[in-house]
Amino acid sequence: MSIERFLDNSISSWMAGDGEHSDIVMSTRIRLARNLNGYRFPLAFTEDEAHKIDQSVSATLLDANEDLQMHFSSIQIKDLSELSRQVLVEKHLISPKLANSPMTGSALISDDEAVSIMVNEEDHIRIQCLFPGLEIQEAYKQADAIDRVLEKEVSYAFDEQFGYLTSCPTNTGTGLRASVMMHLPALTITKQMNRIVTIISRLGMVVRGIYGEGSEALGNVYQVSNQTTLGKSEEDIIADLQSITEQIIQKEREARNALLKHSANTLEDRLYRSLGILSYARIMTTEEAAKCLSDVRLGIDMGLIKDVDVTILNECMVFMQPGFLQQYAGTTLNTSERDLFRAKLLRERLQQGEKTKTKGENSYDV
């Protein structure tokens, strides 16, 4: 399978928008950090060590097709152009850190892009599973299956007291980071997010805006994940995240209903204005696009806006990023050129999404 497939397609399976509670939870991610015995961690290792680690991990996984019922493509970061690396980062298939480790990093990506295993990132192995909607259990099962295949063939660095040994002490223990990406516009509009962030942080969990740490998350998309990895079993970490997520979903639904009850006209006006901007604007910054997409998605979820495809937020949030835009354009673009091209793509995407209209002549099959 060639790398082009991963680069050209803006949709990964996790963006499908058909999982549980998918009107609020955009995706679920599970990450397991593992290291091999007998090699120093990537911060301290040599290229020779890196090469040996890569070989044994890749060989094991490429042989595991039948056990895992999935096929991986192996990608060496050093073989990729800078733009290709950026596109993979924007699709969440590799981390920025791996993209910046050109000499030693590699990744194994499953054909449906739901699983990516990063080799020689901060740890020797990072197993990552991305599912659409709220599927923490399912995503963990998948990651666990891959972990079990690997542990049969390689010897993990493990300590009876400290558990799985990782480069960063914040991952020691289970090496598990479970996170859900949530679209929380109503809680943001009603200014409840700060309070929620404070409460959640007391429960060993963290909330972040997905792109950047600012007070307001881009596109009202937040990531909730576990902070504690030591002294808490995988099952408990998952159960706690599940229960917190369900409570936030409940609060978001309450806030949506309250908005509808108390300020339906103002809300509808705001959402339709955003649809108007997306449909007609000629210059669009990332921030403005994210805000408008969030509004339109909220409008769809609340039944106020019809005839627009529900996957619009998931997909557009990915393809409007700088790397993707340039990949589509087939050339490098400066900031103002990107804003023009972003506006063009969004207009076309919206026309395509309107079921009543006939398909336009768009060459960007997204």
Q: Which of residues 17-46 bind other proteins (CB under 8 A)?
A: 35, 37, 39-41, 43-44
What is the number of alpha carbons within 13 Å of residue 229 lying toward its C-beta? 23
**Angle, alpha carbons 299-327-350 (nearest 5°):** 25
161 touches other proteins by CB under 8 A:
yes
Q: Which of residues 304-343 bind other proteins (CB under 8 A)?
A: none
10 Å CB burial of residue 169 (0-12, 13-18, 19+) is exposed
63 touches other proteins by CB under 8 A:
no
Beta-bridge partner residues of 209: 222
Whole-number minimum distance, CB 37 to other proteins, in Å? 7
CA–CA gap between residue 76 and residue 62 (Å, rounded): 14
Whole-number minimum distance, CB 97 to other proteins, in Å? 12
Q: Is the Cβ of residue 233 or residue 331 nearer to other proteins in the bound state?
A: 233
Which secondary structure element, helix H or strand E, spans residue 138, and what is its range?
A: helix 136-153
Q: Which of residues 106-125 bind other proteins (CB under 8 A)?
A: 122
95 close to 118: Cβ distance less than 8 angstroms: yes
Among 56, 68, 163, 309, binds other proteins (CB under 8 A): 163
11 close to 366: Cβ distance less than 8 angstroms: yes
164 touches other proteins by CB under 8 A:
yes
Whole-number minimum distance, CB 153 to other proteins, in Å? 11
Q: Which of residues 263-302 bind other proteins (CB under 8 A)?
A: none
CB neighbours (10 Å) of residue 285? Answer: 15
233 touches other proteins by CB under 8 A:
yes
Q: Which of residues 177-206 bind other proteins (CB under 8 A)?
A: 204
Q: Is the Cβ of residue 131 or residue 140 nearer to other proteins in the bound state?
A: 140
Whole-number minimum distance, CB 15 to other proteins, in Å? 29
CA–CA gap between residue 295 and residue 256 (Å, rounded): 12
Q: What is the DSSP string of 32-75?
A: EEE-BTTS--TTT--HHHHHHHHHHHHHHHHT-HHHHT--EEEE
Among 174, 223, 326, 327, binds other proteins (CB under 8 A): 174
Q: Is the Cβ of residue 157 or residue 333 nearer to other proteins in the bound state?
A: 157
167 touches other proteins by CB under 8 A:
yes
Q: Is the Cβ of residue 73 or residue 211 nearer to other proteins in the bound state?
A: 211
